[in-house]
Structure 1
Amino acid sequence: MIQVQQNIETAKRFINEGIAKVDMQVFDEALDPNITVSTGLSPTAPIQGLENYKQIFSAFADSWPVKQFVMDEIFGVNDKVVVRFTATTVFKKDYYGVKATNQIVRLKEVHILTFRDGKVIENIVSGTNFPFEYIMYPV
């Protein structure tokens, strides 16, 4: 039970500071160097490795900065922590060739984080992000 609570605390920090505030030091501290990330930010294959994840996520966050962030729910069981959040973003910079529109878009996501030895080794991301998907449809 102590390990589950530690994993939850690490997940909270990763989501609230790493994801919401784009703090790459938190990525370094919370994530395993060999992490695998399944996300729409890499639609052709999972992201392999911490450095690739940081690069891909930073590019996304630069184009879609967060204006408001709410962690809606978090819980853990065994080696898994599930986090559900809502991020309100603004499409500020061109992304994957799509011209920025300054549209405000609410992203609702669920991250399933798998831990080993206190670090996240896998992140499976799912979302209900229809406005984002509509904007990015040409890609």
Structure 2
Amino acid sequence: MPAASNAAVLDRFHSAVNSGDPEVIAKAVDELVAPDLLFHAPVPMGVTGAEALKRVWEVLLRAFPDLHVAVEETITEGDKVVCRNTVTGTHRGEYRGLPPTGKSVVYGEIFIFRFAGGRITELRGVVDVLTQLRQLGALPS
């Protein structure tokens, strides 16, 4: 599949994520992500594959119901798409054991998506959790 088509799939995924609706996100994951997704992000959830990705978004949206992912830069090459994003949200629910603070967060992340057959088959991510936790007051500045 051409790199431009892979980028279009990723655009559809980000649109679903930014809907803030867990059902829309779950449907997009079912449609756009291989069930046996290789998920290399630092989020141990006790599940694997596409189900792990759904779980991550459930946790994030419970904690940050207004979460928004702004894609700042996209690089496509072969079967991979790399995205550098800025994430914003307001802490309104429990997150990593921290009760809601009402504080806003702004942090960066970079993800590498590998595609096969028009679906996301592998995902590697680096999320600036340190900045996120500092903004929530869970760690000193």
TM-score under structure 1 length normalisation: 0.82
**Inter-partner Cα distance in structure 1 for 2:86 and 2:37:** 23
**Correspondence for 1:8:** 7
**Inter-partner Cα distance in structure 2 for 1:56 and 1:7:** 22
**Correspondence for 2:41:** 39
Q: Which amino acid counterpart does residue 39 of structure 2 have in structure 1?
A: V
SS at match of 1:131: helix
Q: CA deviation at 1:49?
A: 1.3
- Runs (5+) with no aligned partner, structure 2: none
**Correspondence for 1:104:** 104
Q: Which amino acid counterpart does residue 111 of structure 1 have in structure 2?
A: F
**Inter-partner Cα distance in structure 2 for 1:116 and 1:24:** 20
Worse-matched range after superposition: 76-85 or 20-29: 20-29
**Inter-partner Cα distance in structure 2 for 1:57 and 1:70:** 16
8 Å contact kept, 1:113–1:121:
yes
Q: CA deviation at 1:51?
A: 1.7
**Inter-partner Cα distance in structure 1 for 2:67 and 2:123:** 23
Q: CA deviation at 1:68?
A: 4.4
SS at match of 1:71: strand
Q: CA deviation at 1:99?
A: 1.1
**Correspondence for 2:87:** 87
Q: Show the 5 A alignment for 1:20-31.
A: 20-22=18-20, 23-31=25-33
SS at match of 1:66: coil
Q: CA deviation at 1:124?
A: 0.7
8 Å contact kept, 1:74–1:82:
yes
Per residue, is there more strand in 1 or in 2?
A: 1
8 Å contact kept, 1:87–1:106:
yes
**Correspondence for 2:125:** 125
Worse-matched range after superposition: 66-75 or 85-94: 66-75
Q: CA deviation at 1:97?
A: 2.1
- Runs (5+) with no aligned partner, structure 1: none
Identity in percent: 20
Name the Cα RMSD after superposition: 2.2
TM-score under structure 2 length normalisation: 0.81
